[in-house]
Chains A and B, each alone.
Chain A
Amino acid sequence: MTSKLLPNGLLDLLPDVAEKEADNIHNLMLYFKSFGYSRVKPPLIEFEDTLLQGLGEAIAPHMFRVMDPKSQKMMGLRADITPQIARIAATRYERDDYPLRFSYAGDVLHVKGSQLDPTRQFTQVGCELIGDDSIAADIETIMLSLNALTEIGFKDITLDITLPALLRSIFMDKMDGALLKALENKNKEQIKALGGDYSDLLLALLSMSGDTDHDIEILQGLSVPAEAQIELDRLQSVVKGVQDELKKSKISVSLTIDPTQHSFFNYHRGVSFSLYISGVREVIGRGGRYDFDTDQGTASAIGFSIYMNALRNI
């Protein structure tokens, strides 16, 4: 029997699940298309150094590598699709063509599963809005992800908006490891003890309640260094914009704000977000703003991926 064993973290999807997933992907792609997002399809495997350039750097530890017998160079199996989309935008298009709206659906591989989930192959479906750094683009992308999930029948969505670069722009890499850990644990007593002059600010950032109006009021009352203030103003504008859109639409979404969240994809720079649905114990999608290099300078983009694996067992 052992010869029929699949490697750890890989599985066959059988008819019910496979068909449902294919239908969901099909409907998502149609929905994205109706909003002007055109489908692109990068290859599964590329030269390692191309995949790891720029955005790809963050995923290096997760990437499977093989040797290309033809060129004798190392190749990598993609561990994330977004960096490939950024490469397409940077190399196949001129800046005059921007903004670009791309969608994609495909699988990625990771060398290792996580502590809780051994899965190593993931199906990502997503969109990227490239070359538009406006607040309207942030709101469009967030709303598109929420509406798309609603379109394929998911309810009780929680949208968690974060600002991964905020702490960096307040502390400028001077943040002490123990304080960062206290912040990750949301341990108010430790933050008071370790935070010094920043205690009040950090505690205010932690006091987001899930009541959007209340949370915005707290954010408005904060005083932070100029660079961080730009981030914070942007966050407020995006949250208000999303709140207005949600009021107009019929979908019910709980909106939480977590300005102390600081990691996940290392490439996210501006407003970022995670999606949850009631009854699923893992994140079902993530997105955010990032910068990437083109021959004509840095470009800004925002996008999101929906993790189809997380939606399988509902």
Chain B
Amino acid sequence: MTQKLILALPKGRILDQVMPILERCDIQPEDAFFNDKDRGLRFTTNHAHLDIIRVRAFDVATFVAFGAAQLGIVGSDVIEEFRYEELFSPLSLGIGKCRLSVAMKSNDPEKKNPKSWSHINIATKYPNLTRKHFANKGIQAECIKLSGAMEIAPNLDLCRHIVDLVESGSTLKANGLEEIETILDVSSYLVVNKTASKVMQSDIDGWIERFRSALR
């Protein structure tokens, strides 16, 4: 008996870049998947044994780590933030490229002298990566966890620094911020649950190879 597999896809930015890859893998979601008004979260595909769920990018890693989904597509920012032991990332998909960076107000006088930072407040969605990055430099980073619109925080004196994804830098610029340093170069990966890769080895290996050939 073949067990049903679930592929978790991230909502938003990356999804548009994922769709052509799915097409080359011959994975066609049911029509409801493309209907923005549809409230369903789980969708069938043209493969009887493969369903798709559409969740927030951060949650893709969690669904796959817990084995609620066996496969997923997610950015290396999320993989590195959680570092789930139960998940591995066998394939770089070459999409969703951006970087995780530290930014400050362009006119912040402290900006020019990072060596003087010893204890800083940072607004971010990535508290683990941020703390680790600054700990390596001997800087105690107090993270203020925000879920979005990070760029407004320095202007309202919530904090002086933010750590967020930067693609073109235009959002930073529009909010009077400037990129100070890069923490991580980000791109999207196919991720796999470890237990599933053992218990359903041939199915899972088959899908990984299918994605691999779709990239050629």
Chain A interface residues toward B at CB < 8 A = 114-116, 158, 160, 184-190, 209-210, 254, 256, 258, 274, 276-278, 281-283
Contacts and interface: CB of A to CB of B under 8 A. Distances in A.
B86 A116 contact: yes
A3 B193 CA distance: 38
A282 B90 contact: no
A114 B85 contact: yes
A158 B67 CA distance: 16
Contacts of A185: 88-90
Which has the most chain A C-beta neighbours within 10 Å: B86, B195, B199, B202?
B199
Report whether over half of chain B's contact residues are helix, strand or loop; otherwise say mixed: mixed
Contact of A209 (B193, B201, B212): B201
Nearest to A117: B66
Contacts of A158: 198-199
Contacts of B85: 114-115
A213 to B, nearest CB: 14
Contact of A210 (B3, B65, B82, B202): B202
Nearest to A263: B85
Contacts of A189: 91-92
A283 B195 CA distance: 7
Given A116-B65, A116-B84, A281-B67, A187 B199 contact: no
Given A114-B85, A116-B65, 14 more contacts: A115-B65, A115-B86, A185-B89, A189-B92, A190-B92, A209-B202, A209-B205, A210-B205, A254-B199, A256-B198, A258-B198, A276-B195, A281-B193, A281-B195
A147 to B, nearest CB: 20
Nearest to B79: A185
A282 B198 CA distance: 11
A262 to B, nearest CB: 13
Contacts of B90: 185-188
Contacts of A276: 195, 198-199
Nearest to A274: B198
Given A116-B65, A209-B205, A187 B198 contact: no
Nearest to A208: B201
B207 to A, nearest CB: 13
Given A115-B84, A116-B66, A187 B89 contact: yes
25 contacts: A114-B85, A115-B84, A115-B85, A115-B86, A116-B66, A116-B86, A158-B198, A160-B198, A186-B88, A186-B90, A187-B90, A187-B91, A187-B92, A188-B212, A189-B92, A190-B92, A209-B202, A210-B202, A210-B205, A254-B199, A258-B198, A274-B198, A276-B195, A281-B67, A283-B195
The 3 closest A-B pairs by CB, nearest first: A281-B67, A210-B201, A186-B90
A283 B67 CA distance: 12
Nearest to B89: A185
Contacts of A254: 199, 201
Contacts of A274: 198
Contacts of A115: 65, 82, 84-86
A190 B212 CA distance: 13
A116 B68 CA distance: 12
A210 B65 CA distance: 22
Nearest to A183: B88
B189 to A, nearest CB: 8
A274 B195 CA distance: 10
Contacts of B202: 209-210
A281 B70 CA distance: 10
A254 B205 CA distance: 15
B201 A256 contact: yes
A156 to B, nearest CB: 8
Nearest to A114: B85
A55 to B, nearest CB: 22
A114 B3 CA distance: 27
Contacts of B65: 115-116
A185 B89 CA distance: 5
Contacts of A282: 195
Interface in B54-102: 65-67, 82, 84-86, 88-92
B92 to A, nearest CB: 6
A73 B66 CA distance: 40
Nearest to B194: A283
Nearest to A284: B195
Contacts of B82: 115
Interface string B142-163: 0000000000000000000000
Contacts of B88: 184-186
A209 B92 CA distance: 21
Nearest to A187: B90
A125 to B, nearest CB: 20
Interface centre among A158, A185, A209 (most CB of B within 10 A): A185
A28 B11 CA distance: 47
